[in-house]
Structure formats: structure tokens, C-alpha cells
Structure 1
């Protein structure tokens, strides 16, 4: 067999592998979107957050799906949770041990451990996870992640639902910061995710879904580097 034939075979094999992975990821994304949460899950959330209506809880459920999709589309690399109320729902879902384990296997090919809700800080790993989630949720909602005119649901939901201990984001805080009004609670800013001011880098920002292993066929069970933990 000549070299040209070997090159063609190798190229076709690579193309088929890429197409198979894209197909597999698409199947998993559809599964996440259509997944039925355990029947009493929202009631559990309402015990934690009695101010939430059923409609509010369903919106939180959409936020959690968005987080799971970001993890999948990011190649199952490390992610951080940006919302307090969505984090509450994630906690409650994890307590349904069998449901959650089965969900992770079908959605990711491996177990996704819990990571606490955080904001940008000096913690480089958490910052990388937040930037990754920001980039991918903006991409999903057709938002420019560098100059956002609005927020993805996952970053907007705490403010939208008036969560007392929630993380309040704005697309751009420059006007508030320039006003230097000490009586105003300074929110967290979408524009900060492209900045290196917090930790000297922008790891995670600009990640594309081509990298990583979201197919569950690796030695790590398909979780790649994304399985964080408490």
C-alpha cells in the first residue's frame, strides 16, 4: 500500500472519529435537555427556598441544564458553578443518588462531582471553571462573551429571582465603578471574565468544544479533568 493510500485512510479514520464524537455529544446534549428531574425535586428546593414558586423552580431547572450542557460542550473539563440557587438544586439532585449516577453516565460518560458556587477570585482553578462556563453559556445564547449586552440565564438567575445570598451580575459594571458610589452594592461583571486582573491569566475563556473527551471512552471514564469536588 503506497503512502498516498495510507494518508487517505488515516484522514478518513480521523474524520469518522470526529463525526462519531460530535454525534455522540449531540445525543448526550439531547438527553440533558429532555431529562426528567425526580418528581419531588422542586419541592425539595422550595423547602430550602420557600419564596420560590413552581415556575421559579422550573427556571432554576433550566439553569441547571444549562450548566450541565456547558460541562458537556466544554469537553467535560473543570467547571465552576456561578449561581447560588442553581447550586441548591444541584445539591438536591445529587441526593437522589441512583438518579444522579445514572444521569451522569448517560449525559457525560462519567460522574460529575459537585463544585461549590463561586465568583472570580485568586483561585485559578475556580476562575478557569467560571470562565469556561461563561464562554459556553454565552455561546449557547448568542451573546458576545467579551462585550456582553445581556447575561446568560445561569449568570442572571440569582438576581432575577431575588436570591438573598445570590451572586448578582451585570453585563458591564464600568458605569457603576466610575460613579464610585459606596452606597451601591457592586455586582459581579460579565466583562471581567475576559480580564486577567484576578489571577494573571484567562484560562478557560475562549475554550471551544472540540477539545477534551466528552465521549466516555477514555481511561478516566469520560470525565476528563472536569470532575471537581468539594
Structure 2
């Protein structure tokens, strides 16, 4: 993992204590696995480039993120510490200005590329198949072959911090 911005995010995550309210709409177990996924997602967000949206690969993590966002004060403080500004959520079908009509797979590809930038050596990403592991109906996810191919390409791209 490279960069001061990513180190800032890791530091903010290290002290983050998520209240039970975060999981009101995320009832699946084991909760520690979902927390790992949420932490990995928030680290990926630190590697976002050019304000372009990342694709969410896990419904369980998306629900936990929604719950975190609803803890407005905690989420706002975390964002300032982790990213230097508020990190907005763009639900499926609602994209930032100038990105209308972008296919979901392009956003998921950016998530895989972001993971390649923030993963610790040997760290396994739970985001790609978390919903299947949890037994969710209609699981989201990213095919392992796609992840492998994209990670090879993503590792060739030098890390650049997210502008603050």
C-alpha cells in the first residue's frame, strides 16, 4: 500500500468503532467478515482517481456502508480523517455528474484496480465473493477470473493520490 492518503485511511480505520446501528439493515453473519469487507471497501475508496465512481461488489458491504452513512456525525468525522473530505455514496443508477450511462462493469473494474493499489502483500480481498460466502439471495460479486486479469493490469499502473 502506497501513499500518504492511503496511510491516512488505514489510520482512520484502525480507530473506527462501528456501532450496532451500522448493521440494522445488514443482518448477515459473521459480522466480522462484513466489517473486513467494509474496511477493504473504504480502503479502495482512498485509491479512487479523478472523482470516478467505484463499483460496489458486495450487497452486504453496501448495506453496512449505508448504515455507516446514517451515523452521520461518525461517518463525517471518519471521512475527514480518512480522505480529507466527505465521501459521497452514489447508488446504482445515480452517478456523479458527467458519468451518466457508464456501465456497472467499468465501475467494478476500477474497484479491482483500486484494490490492487491498497492491498497489503498476501492479503485476500473478501469483497469479490462475500455475498456468496454469506449465503445472500441474489449475491453480487466479481468473477475470480476477471479479478485476476484486472489485478495483473492494475499493478502496472502507478499509484496517484486522490486529490483533496
What SS does the aligned partner of 1:209 have? coil
What stretches of structure 1 move > 4 A for 4+ residues in a row? 191-194, 204-207
Name the residue aligned to 1:133: 111
1:55-85 Cα shifts (integer Å, max 9, x gaps): x122111111111101113357322211111
Instruction: Check whether the contact 1:75–1:211 (CA below 8 A) recurs between aligned residues.
Output: yes
- What is the RMSD computed on CA atoms of the aligned residues? 3.3
TM-score scaled to structure 2, two decimals?
Answer: 0.73
Aligned length: 153
TM-score, normalised with respect to structure 1: 0.55
1:124 aligned partner? 102
Residue 206 and residue 33 in structure 1: after superposition, are their counterparts in 2 closer, same or farther (change >3 A)? farther
For the 8 Å contact 1:84–1:158, the answer to whether it is kept is yes
d(CA) in 2 for partners of 1:206 and 1:126? 23
Q: Distance in 1 between matches of 2:84 and 2:17?
A: 18
Identify which of structures 1 and 2 has the higher relative contact order when contacts are C-alpha pairs closer than 8 Å and 6+ apart. 2
In structure 2, the residue matched to 1:111 is: 86
Name stretches of at least 5 consecutive residues in structure 1 with no aligned partner: 1-20, 144-150, 173-188, 195-201, 214-221, 223-230
The answer (yes or no) to whether the contact 2:58–2:128 under 8 Å persists in 1 is yes
| Distance in 2 separating the partners of 1:117 and 1:157 | 19
The question of whether the paired residues in 2 share the 8 Å contact of 1:75 and 1:210 is answered with yes
Bigger radius of gyration among the two = 1
1:74 aligned residue:
48
Unmatched runs of 5 consecutive residues or more in structure 2:
94-100
- Structure 1 residue aligned with 2:33: 59
CA distance in 2, matches of 1:209, 1:138: 10
